[in-house]
Amino acid sequence: MELLDLENIARKEKLNLINYKMKPKARIIDKYIFMDYSKIHTQKEEKCILAEELGHYYYDAFYTLSSSQEDIDRAEYKALKWKSLSCVPLKSFLTCFYKRNI
């Protein structure tokens, strides 16, 4: 999946992409994905960050500042899982899997 595809998914879900300077590179709050584009240097990096934020949205993997580390880790794992499933082509995944199991 390409960056444009991810942006189209965000639009379809009525998620607003907003450039906002902050400590982390990105954060999703409600229907807003805040991204600090001054810290994002490549299109590949932007794609990975947006995919992870969409993962938080689709897996309902949110947390607050008062969440336990376990809850934070669980939410991050879910978001990274969605990112991997959406960004890595199945053929590439299977190729790596079969090479490793030979």
Q: Give the count of beta carbons closer than 10 Å to the beta carbon of residue 33.
A: 22
Output the average pLDDT for the chain.
Answer: 93
Using DSSP bridges, classify how beta strands 16-19 and 26-29 pair: parallel, antiparallel or unpaired: unpaired
- Residue among 46, 56, 49 nearest 82 (CA): 56
Residue 29 parent element (H or E): strand 26-29
Residue 43 clears pLDDT 90, i.e. is over it: yes
Alpha-helical (H) ranges within 1-102 are 3-12, 43-58, 69-87, 90-100
pLDDT single digits (tens) 52-90: 999 999 999 999 989 999 999 999 999 999 999 888 888
pLDDT single digits (tens) 6-36: 999 999 999 999 999 999 999 999 999 999 9
* Assigned token pair, 80: 């990274």
